[in-house]
Chain A
Amino acid sequence: MKIRILLVDDEKEFVEALAERLRTRDFHVTTAFSGDEALEKLKEYNFDVTILDVRMPGLDGIEALRAIKKLKPLTEVLMLTGHGTIETAIEGMKIGAFDFLIKPCEIDVLLDKIKGAYERKAEHEERIQKALVNKLSTSPMSILE
């Protein structure tokens, strides 16, 4: 199954170019140009990895990250940052982001981080599934609880 990515940045040209590059590498990419738009899309869809710019007008990266983690705790977040905002990215990692990337980044570095984030999410989901299956195997009725 294709890895589903939500790419969030207010720089439209950057977002569209990066989305296209990722699509050619067989990712399923959805774009959003603000934190609010990202949250709207997250309400409707599940994404494996969200790539989130830390500095955006309106809802900033950290606020958006908190909201994403509240809405979809399993979605892994990669923070996109410039040299001046590394502190913010580190703060983001403290509150649940998987990693950060400094713009402009090498595509191979980005791909590695996406892969790492996806693997962590898949592992987490597998553990949840295992626990659910164990519960349902002994008590099918618990599905109704």
Chain B
Amino acid sequence: MEHHHTEADKSKKPGLLSNKMLWLIVGAACFVIIGFIIPTPQSLIELVEKQKIAEKLIGWHVAHDVAHAAWKAKLVLAMIPMAVIYFATEALPIGLVGILMPMFAYFFKLLPMKMIGQTFAGDAPLFLLGVLAMGVTVIGVGLHKRLATWILGWTKGFVVPIVVLCVSMSVLGSFISAHAMAAFMAPVMAAVYMGAVSANSNEGVIEHDPQLAKLLLFSLCFALNVGGVGSPAAGGRNVIMMGFWSDYNVPMSFGRWMMYGLPLTPVLGLAVAGYMLFVFRKVKTKDLTPGLLAIKEETKKMGPMSYAEKVAFGMMLLILFLWIVGGHDLGLGGPALLALVIPVVFKIADWRKILGGISWDAWFMYCGALTLGALLKETGAALWLAQLFLGGLNAIGCGKGLGLWIGMSSFSGLMTNFMSDAGTTALLGPIAVPMGIMSGVQGEPWAIGLATAFATSFAHFLIVGTPNNAIVYGLGVYPDTGQRMISPIDFVKYGFVLWVICLVITWVLGFMVLYNVVGFPEGITETAKAVLLSNTQ
């Protein structure tokens, strides 16, 4: 049996990646070298002059001539590798990396002082604040447990529970914090496993079936990962993308995102189930029914639905309803803020508990991402990068439409395995959006933005790709021996092919079918292009 003892983990020597100070210095060095030592590219100087960006920056008193304006754009570009290093190595907490964005903007006078604060706030951060608060209440009252046990409690046999698990977790993961779901469900899966293998074992000695343990845990983990495409509420990275579109005057509604993303989730969930059942087809234990009693026990322990659960459920449905039908007047932030008010007014959660439960680290990071997006856009750095990458992609025939979406989603999907999904969107979004706009294809920049954001849900093949992976690995322990059910290399072994499958499904069903069936509003490309070229500023 391939076990990796948790005790042994403690004796591991810290690797190069854990040397935070080293990476802190490397990131800062990158910023200094690009920002202050490497000369400003002539193409960047020409661009800020030709597109009248220099004129705008001089008018805002943040640059005194064209060369100075181009240098400001270069400083913004220098922030990107620094942020990549900090996100990938966690040399700084992600929230602090977010705070660096407005801080640098203030100290290097990259934008007028009043604009910096505005870029850090807006509808998207308020939306995210509400999403995070809703998560605190829903998890706090245990509604996620109730939903999971309702969905899985009735299943029997082997294939049906796996399919129901994957499809339900992917759909639930579109609306409820996947991390919280992973934290609740991983021990439940361990209990299902123990129940199933115990039924096949002699009294006293449990005969383990490691393949079954992996099947259950990876099905859970990957299904929760792919749920991220379903709605903007699935995670902060989607909110960041919504914020970038708003910056280009082409905001997308909550319902519109769901039209492109939600139909993908059950299909991706089914793909996870199908692939997992194929890979682990040789499991010894082919009946999960005795193990599923663990879920029934959980349901029994919970008793009837409590007042707090009912209010939380009603609040969730109301907010979802308002997000979908509320339209542009309510925005996304308006309904989301109800998640802060309703729990306190109806006394189902304490105000301090909500404040304590919100991940401010994530929130600061998202706000910082919006500032970085604005900095890239306003200084012309985004346009310069977009032209640079488009030039390269055009040379290989991937400069627009499907080719561009496939290229961008592949890159985003790859990057998200090495760093946080939100970090990936935060850094790629401000570049992808202008690339889409400059390609001039109808439907941009929504199409490329969705392509970038969707792929960030496929962090399947590295354990550090998403908290879901780390949580399932951390909590996936054989209860009787304390040994780990999966090893970090298993993510590469079972996640890589699934990563490819998920991307292909997104290309075919998402880009080729849903983009055409749902369509894109007329004129969004032109509106966004006008903003990009500073004509509407």
Q: Which residues on A are within 8 Å of B, measured CB to CB?
A: 1-2, 4, 23, 28-30, 44-46, 129-130, 132-133, 136-145
Is B348 interfacial (CB 8 A cutoff)?
no
Kindly list the 4 A-B residue pairs having the minimum CB-CB distance in the complex, ordered from nearest. Answer: A140-B470, A133-B183, A143-B470, A136-B470
CA distance A144 to B19 in the complex (A): 12
User: Assuming the A-B contacts A1-B191, A129-B183, are A140 and B463 also in contact, with contact meaning beta carbons closer than 8 angstroms in the complex?
Assistant: yes
Q: Are A138 and B474 in contact, CB atoms less than 8 angstroms apart?
A: no
In the complex, which residue of chain A has the Cβ closest to the Cβ of B184? A133
**Nearest chain A CB to B182 CB, angstrom units:** 8
CA distance A64 to B122 in the complex (A): 62
**Nearest chain B CB to A27 CB, angstrom units:** 11
Q: Are A136 and B474 in contact, CB atoms less than 8 angstroms apart?
A: yes
User: Assuming the A-B contacts A1-B479, A133-B183, are A141 and B464 also in contact, with contact meaning beta carbons closer than 8 angstroms in the complex?
Assistant: yes
In the complex, which residue of chain A has the Cβ closest to the Cβ of B192? A1
**Nearest chain B CB to A56 CB, angstrom units:** 22
Residues of A within 8 Å of B481, CB to CB, are 44-46
Q: Are B479 and A138 in contact, CB atoms less than 8 angstroms apart?
A: no
User: Assuming the A-B contacts A46-B481, A137-B179, are A144 and B17 also in contact, with contact meaning beta carbons closer than 8 angstroms in the complex?
Assistant: yes
Q: Could you list 4 further interchain pairs (A-B, Cβ under 8 angstroms) beyond the known A137-B471, A141-B470?
A: A4-B479, A44-B481, A46-B481, A136-B467
CA distance A23 to B470 in the complex (A): 36
Residues of B within 8 Å of A46, CB to CB, are 479-482
**Nearest chain B CB to A121 CB, angstrom units:** 11
CA distance A129 to B179 in the complex (A): 13
**Nearest chain A CB to B222 CB, angstrom units:** 15
Residues of B within 8 Å of A132, CB to CB, are 471, 474-475
Residues of B within 8 Å of A141, CB to CB, are 17-18, 89-90, 464, 470
Q: Are A143 and B195 in contact, CB atoms less than 8 angstroms apart?
A: no
For chain B, what secondary structure do more than half of its interface residues adopt (helix, strand, loop), or is it mixed?
Answer: helix
CA distance A28 to B470 in the complex (A): 30
CA distance A4 to B90 in the complex (A): 39
CA distance A133 to B186 in the complex (A): 11
8 pairs from A and B in contact (CB 8 Å cutoff): A1-B479, A29-B204, A137-B359, A139-B93, A140-B469, A141-B17, A141-B90, A144-B18
User: Which residues of chain B (1-57) have a CB below 8 Å from chain A?
Assistant: 12, 14-15, 17-18
**Nearest chain A CB to B237 CB, angstrom units:** 14
CA distance A31 to B48 in the complex (A): 79
Residues of B within 8 Å of A30, CB to CB, are 204
**Nearest chain B CB to A57 CB, angstrom units:** 25
**Nearest chain B CB to A132 CB, angstrom units:** 5
In the complex, which residue of chain B has the Cβ closest to the Cβ of A139? B90
CA distance A132 to B203 in the complex (A): 33
Q: Are A136 and B471 in contact, CB atoms less than 8 angstroms apart?
A: yes
A-contact 0/1 string along B461-491, CB 8 Å cutoff: 0011111011101110001111000001000
Residues of B within 8 Å of A133, CB to CB, are 179, 183, 471, 474-475
Residues of A within 8 Å of B194, CB to CB, are 1
**Nearest chain A CB to B467 CB, angstrom units:** 5
**Nearest chain B CB to A141 CB, angstrom units:** 5
**Nearest chain A CB to B363 CB, angstrom units:** 12
User: Which residues of chain B (342-389) have a CB below 8 Å from chain A?
Assistant: 359, 361-362
**Nearest chain B CB to A144 CB, angstrom units:** 7
CA distance A142 to B94 in the complex (A): 13
Residues of A within 8 Å of B15, CB to CB, are 144
**Nearest chain B CB to A94 CB, angstrom units:** 26
Is B187 interfacial (CB 8 A cutoff)?
yes
Residues of B within 8 Å of A4, CB to CB, are 479-480
CA distance A129 to B182 in the complex (A): 12
**Nearest chain A CB to B220 CB, angstrom units:** 14
Kindly name the residue among A140, A142, A144 whose own CB sees the greatest number of chain B CB atoms within 10 A. Answer: A140
**Nearest chain B CB to A92 CB, angstrom units:** 23
In the complex, which residue of chain A has the Cβ closest to the Cβ of B465? A140
CA distance A36 to B364 in the complex (A): 54
User: Which residues of chain B (173-232) have a CB below 8 Å from chain A?
Assistant: 179, 183, 187, 191, 194-195, 198, 203-204
Kindly name the residue among A29, A139, A142 whose own CB sees the greatest number of chain B CB atoms within 10 A. Answer: A139
Residues of A within 8 Å of B203, CB to CB, are 23
Residues of A within 8 Å of B14, CB to CB, are 145
Q: Which of A28, A129, A142 contacts B475 (CB 8 A)?
A: A129
